Amino acid sequence: MKPPPFDYVAPETLEEALSVLAEHGDEAQPLAGGQSLVPMLSLRIARPSVILDLNRVAALKGIAAEGSALRLGAMTRQAEVLANATVRQTLPGLQEAVNFVGHFQTRNRGTIGGSISLGEPAAENPAFAVALDADLELQSSAGSRTVRASDFYSGPYTTARTDTELLTAITYRPPANARIGTLEISQRRGDFALAGLVACLPVSGGTISDARLCWFGMGSQPLRARSAEAALEGASIASLDLAALADLALHDTDPNDDTHATAAYRHEAGRTVFTRLMTRLLGEGAAQ
Amino acid sequence: MSDHDINLTVNGRKVARRVPARRTLLDFLRADLGLTGTHAGCEHGVCGACTVMIDGVAMRSCLTFAVQMDGHAVTTVEGVAHEDGSFHPVQQALHDNHGLQCGFCTPGIVMSLLSMTEGEQKASRAEILDAMSGHICRCTGYQGLHKAIAQLTEANHD
């Protein structure tokens, strides 16, 4: 239960951090809050030869509203998001999602960017980024690029980030009039979700358009419920059949059988999460 | 494997040591400094027994490396009681309400309670109770802890 030996570097500038990655590639492991990485080191699941500590890189911090968009430096801590007035004004739904992440003591150190980069399939931050289709800024010594969160994940802990890139910032662009919510079922408060859902539902004149639903804990990566999203396009809230929509939404999941829950249990928990969240966001009138 | 010189403050005292990069803050406190009040439980962030305050904020010492603490201030349970040895109100509240039994989880709980009742923004009773999800106590069933938290937050408006 002790981490394996490694070399440690803690640069203060982004340029230095990127040069460490350029030199060491997949031998180097960026360390953000460490609330997932350090357990993985202690359990010897991860054995990097170099730990690149990002906690002293000031350029990776900061919370800023840009019009209706919200930009977070990747090293923004989860507790900072919960306490921040700009987040509360521009994207309160992010605070709801982050409040499900771990515990008070781990949110004090854990970061948004670290969680998104890790890509734990049952985690809230990746699913929230996918549901909002956030812009993920990736930088390397060679340059920078932006990847949409919907294109970022391809499997458990598998992302579009290459070994020489760092996730530097996340920009959420909530659609106008969007009703945004997160709900999950876990065994205990702070545990990983057995089934969880983030919904982003733009509603105008009682009609939904460009709905985005993203499951977490319901497959090998954050999963958009594309069939249900398509069925919601142009739908009137008053005429929704939530039971049929839940079937469609669950059709796009592939929940695991594991020690925490059976796939069948997760499926039913997912149905409950879907129904409760959609009813809360759309009103009792939608609960047919 | 790299070694590093670190300078930090522990319970108000300046400390300088050389540590291997992989040494957790938890092991540093217990083995290098002999401060065994901070308890090693699960050592992967789940149980909460190793919780300390880093710059006044409760965090897991098993999920932080000692080398990262260069220039920072760490407070452990040894730094909580008053200089004359009398209890801090957090300790007194646990004492008064049977907020512990075997005491293994207690040092971590004390540090979380301290950071939430003495921090920049005092937490509500509901917020403190919620934060207790980050501490596993197998003796008490948490009822004494609930009463201790009620005592601590009596003066606060929830």
pTM: 0.96
Q: Which of B44, B79, B114 is the last residue before a domain boundary?
A: B79
User: Touching check for B120 and chain A: CB below 8 Å?
Assistant: no
Residues within 8 A of B (CB atoms), A 70-129 only: 79, 83, 102-106, 108-109
pLDDT tens figures, A91-115 = 999 999 999 999 999 999 999 999 9
Collapsed DSSP state (helix, strand, coil) of residue B80:
coil
Cα A259 from Cα A187, distance rounded (Å): 12
A267 and A255 Cβ atoms separated by less than 8 Å? yes
Domains of chain B: total:
2
Predicted confidence at residue B156, as pLDDT, reads 55
Cα B131 from Cα B111, distance rounded (Å): 12
pLDDT of B119 above 80: no
B10 and B54, same domain (yes or no): yes
Classify residue B127: in a domain, yes or no. yes
Q: Which of B55, B79, B103 is the last residue before a domain boundary?
A: B79
Classify residue B34: in a domain, yes or no. yes
Find the domain containing B134 and state its range: 89-156
Q: Nearest CA of chain B to the CA of A37: how many Å?
A: 8
Q: Which of B56, B79, B102 is the last residue before a domain boundary?
A: B79
What is the rounded radius of gyration, in angstroms, for the C-alpha atoms of chain A? 19
Cα A165 from Cα A180, distance rounded (Å): 30
CATH homologous superfamily, domain A178-282: CO dehydrogenase flavoprotein, C-terminal domain (3.30.390.50)
B96 and B145, same domain (yes or no): yes
Domain of B58: which CATH number? 3.10.20.30
Contact A188 B2 (CB under 8 A): no
Cα A257 from Cα A41, distance rounded (Å): 25
- Of 1.10.730.10, 3.40.309.10, 3.30.43.10, 1.10.260.40, which CATH number belongs to A7-53? 3.30.43.10
The better pLDDT of the pair A199, B122 is held by: A199
The predicted model gives B89-118 an average pLDDT of 96
Q: Nearest CA of chain A to the CA of B84: how many Å?
A: 29
Domain of B135: which CATH number? 1.10.150.120
Contact A1 B43 (CB under 8 A): yes
Which pair of tokens denotes residue B20? 């291997």
Question: Strand B73-75 vs strand B3-10: parallel, antiparallel, or unpaired?
Answer: parallel
B64 and B8, same domain (yes or no): yes
User: Touching check for A271 and chain B: CB below 8 Å?
Assistant: no
B53 and B100, same domain (yes or no): no
B75 and B93, same domain (yes or no): no
User: Touching check for B60 and chain A: CB below 8 Å?
Assistant: yes
Classify residue B66: in a domain, yes or no. yes
For domain A58-172, the question of CATH label 3.30.465.10 is answered with yes
A150 and A144 Cβ atoms separated by less than 8 Å? no
Classify residue B48: in a domain, yes or no. yes
Give the total residue count for chain A: 288
B69 and B39, same domain (yes or no): yes
Helix H, strand E, coil C: the string for A272-285 is HHHHHHHHHHHCHH
Contact B43 A42 (CB under 8 A): yes
B111 and B39 Cβ atoms separated by less than 8 Å? no
B110 and B139, same domain (yes or no): yes
Query: Whose structure tokens read 């092991």?
Result: B27
pLDDT of A279 above 90: yes
Predicted confidence at residue B155, as pLDDT, reads 65
Classify residue B84: in a domain, yes or no. no
Around Cβ A1, how many Cβ atoms within 10 Å? 12
B109 and B60, same domain (yes or no): no
User: Touching check for B116 and chain A: CB below 8 Å?
Assistant: yes
Classify residue B58: in a domain, yes or no. yes
B5: buried, middle or exposed (CB in 10 Å: 19+, 13-18, 0-12)? exposed
Contact B131 A105 (CB under 8 A): yes
**Which residue does chain A place closest to B21, by CA atoms?**
A8
B10 and B64, same domain (yes or no): yes
**Which residue does chain B place closest to A83, by CA atoms?**
B121
Q: Which residues of A touch B62 (CB under 8 A)?
A: 38, 42
- ipTM, two decimals: 0.96
B54 and B74, same domain (yes or no): yes
User: Touching check for B3 and chain A: CB below 8 Å?
Assistant: no
pLDDT tens figures, A159-215 = 999 999 999 999 999 999 999 999 999 999 999 999 999 999 999 999 999 999 999
A196 and A183 Cβ atoms separated by less than 8 Å? yes
Which pair of tokens denotes residue A78? 């989860």
Predicted confidence at residue A256, as pLDDT, reads 92
Contact B112 A105 (CB under 8 A): yes
Classify residue B97: in a domain, yes or no. yes
Which pair of tokens denotes residue A153? 């994940």
Contact B63 A109 (CB under 8 A): yes
User: Touching check for A44 and chain B: CB below 8 Å?
Assistant: no
B75 and B94, same domain (yes or no): no
Which pair of tokens denotes residue A280? 């809360």
pLDDT of B22 above 60: yes
Domain range summary for chain A, segments of one domain joined by +: 7-53, 58-172, 178-282
